């Protein structure tokens, strides 16, 4: 709001009388006018009252034109260029210097962070109350780019096609998960979620988190970068789990393998709680029907009773069989305390906005 008010006052001063500007001040004014969506006519009118104390040349005008100004404003800049012909040439317009990147924690701090997160992860499931939520799973398929089913004119990005939408009553009772399929494409069903054809995923309520941090897994961690997740500054660590220590199962219904995997762990800087986990399978045998598998799981705070708990928000599972890609978007909604009388709402919430699960620029 402070920036917006300053831009308006600046424009008012130009309109009220002649204002002498440097090239740098001219750039700041034009940037603010574009951001405030002032009309081309208004901006050109403001500039008609301005004078420059430095020479405006064609090169500087090209830089100012790249801001997205209109034709009337461009004409006003040409007039200012002609008026400033006899003045001293200004220094080239340079972009604002980017702030220095935030340094990573020291090696000692990193070790302490991992120790804290390990303690949190191993006790995560024990700390959760019994509850029920709605899991909404949207399942997509796409032809692999460059594969035999891909369109000849297709680009490098998959063209995802929604196959079905599943609404599941997911209960967490005495540290165990139970999945009850309620709706398929908004139609009531009595089917078994775990026996559905296509891709299904379970174990999002602490299993993945615990397995990564169990001492027996001997996970190797190293610093990756800083990130902001849902407004929270986060440490991001890369990790790798060897196949001999892995407990991650991948199944094509007939055969199951255990693979090595790697990924990233996002840790809230203040609370040392995990906000996101990514998992990517490595060293999948070439003969296995599934060629690639990865998972992303985001956690966010949910209110149960009078307390907040960090619980799964959204998971994304991707698999490839070579020519066909599969993607499941699993959203966890409508959390409430567990009760034998608890009933799920027979509707399917709209998808979460992408902003809720996007990594934001470092603050």
State yes or no: pLDDT of 293 exceeds 90: yes
Is there a single domain that holds both residue 79 and residue 113? no
Q: Where are the alpha helices (DSSP H) in the chain?
A: 2-16, 23-35, 40-47, 58-65, 71-83, 107-127, 207-213
Q: How many domains, in total, are found in the chain?
A: 2
Same domain flag for 118 and 150:
yes
Q: Are 309 and 337 in contact (CB under 8 A)?
A: no
> Are residues 195 and 77 located together in one domain of the fold?
no
Checking if the pLDDT of 300 tops 50, the result is: yes
pLDDT for residue 139 is more than 80: yes
92 part of a folded domain: no
Q: Are residues 79 and 112 in the same domain?
A: no
More reliable by pLDDT, 94 or 48: 48
Helix (H, G, I), strand (E, B), or coil: what is residue 64?
helix
Q: Are residues 132 and 259 in the same domain?
A: yes
Do 76 and 217 belong together in one domain? no
Task: Using the predicted structure, report yes or no on whether residue 4 has a pLDDT greater than 50.
Answer: no
Greater model confidence, 191 or 331: 331
Q: What integer pLDDT is reported at residue 207 of this predicted model?
A: 83
- The mean per-residue pLDDT over the stretch 38-59 comes to 86
- The reply to whether 99 falls in a domain is no
Give CA–CA dist 312/118, Å, rounded.
18
> Is the model's pLDDT at 18 over the cut of 60?
no
Query: What is the CA 86 to chain-centroid distance, rounded?
Result: 52
- Give pLDDT tens digits for 243-259: 999 998 888 778 899 99
**pLDDT range class, residue 14, cuts 50, 70, 90:** very low
Instruction: Quote the pLDDT of residue 332.
Output: 92
Mean pLDDT calculated for residue range 324-338: 91
Distance (Å, rounded) from C-alpha 69 to C-alpha 27?
11
**Structural domain of residue 167, as residue ranges?**
107-360
Q: For residues 361 and 63, give the distance between their C-alpha atoms in angstroms, rounded to a whole number.
A: 25
Q: Specify whether 24 is located in the same domain as 139.
A: no
Does a structural domain hold residue 229? yes
* Domain contains 267: yes
pLDDT of residue 149: 66
Same domain, residue pair 220 and 352: yes
The whole-number average pLDDT for the span 101-111 is 93
Q: Return the pLDDT at 198.
A: 76
DSSP 3-state of 327: strand
pTM: 0.71
Range from 81-90, 105-114, 217-226, 315-324 carrying the lowest mean pLDDT = 81-90
Average pLDDT along the chain? 84
Are 66 and 158 members of one domain? no
Do 229 and 146 share a structural domain? Answer: yes
Is there a single domain that holds both residue 159 and residue 61? no
pLDDT given at position 98: 64
Considering the domain boundaries, does residue 97 fall inside one?
A: no
- DSSP letters of 82-114? HHTTTSPBPPPP-PPPPPPPPPPPPHHHHHHHH
pLDDT over 70 (residue 288): yes
Number of other residues whose CB lies within 10 A of the CB of residue 33: 25
pLDDT for the residue 5: 36
């Amino acid at each position: 709001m402070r920036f917006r008010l300053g831009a308006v006052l600046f424009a008012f001063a130009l309109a009220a009388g002649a204002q002498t500007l440097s090239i740098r001040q001219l750039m700041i004014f034009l940037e603010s006018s574009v951001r405030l969506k002032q009309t081309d006519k208004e901006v050109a009118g403001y500039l008609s009252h301005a004078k420059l104390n430095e020479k405006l040349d064609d090169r500087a005008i090209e830089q100012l034109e790249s801001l997205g100004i209109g034709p009337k404003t461009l004409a006003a800049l040409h007039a200012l260029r002609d008026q400033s012909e006899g003045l001293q040439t200004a220094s080239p317009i340079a972009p604002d210097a980017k702030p220095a990147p935030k340094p990573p924690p020291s090696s000692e701090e990193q070790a302490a962070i991992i120790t804290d997160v390990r303690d949190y992860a191993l006790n995560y499931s024990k700390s959760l109350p019994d509850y029920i939520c709605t899991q909404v799973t949207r399942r997509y398929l796409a032809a692999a780019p460059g594969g035999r089913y891909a369109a000849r004119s297709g680009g490098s990005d998959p063209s995802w096609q929604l196959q079905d939408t599943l609404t599941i009553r997911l209960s967490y009772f005495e540290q165990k998960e139970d999945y009850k399929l309620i709706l398929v494409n908004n139609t009531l069903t009595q089917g078994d979620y775990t026996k559905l054809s296509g891709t299904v995923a379970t174990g999002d309520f602490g299993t993945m988190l615990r397995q990564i941090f169990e001492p027996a897994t001997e996970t190797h961690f190293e610093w990756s970068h800083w990130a902001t997740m849902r407004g929270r500054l986060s440490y991001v660590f890369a990790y790798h789990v060897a196949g001999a220590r892995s407990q991650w199962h991948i199944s094509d219904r007939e055969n199951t393998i255990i693979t090595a995997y790697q990924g990233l762990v996002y840790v809230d800087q203040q609370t040392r709680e995990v906000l996101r986990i990514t998992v990517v399978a490595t060293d999948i045998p070439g003969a296995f029907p599934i060629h690639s598998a990865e998972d992303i799981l985001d956690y966010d705070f949910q209110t149960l009773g009078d307390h907040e708990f960090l619980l799964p928000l959204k998971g994304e599972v991707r698999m490839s069989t070579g020519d066909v890609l599969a993607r499941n978007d699993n959203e966890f909604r409508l959390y409430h305390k567990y009760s034998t009388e608890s009933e799920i709402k027979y509707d399917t919430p709209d998808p979460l906005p992408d902003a809720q699960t996007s990594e934001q620029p470092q603050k």
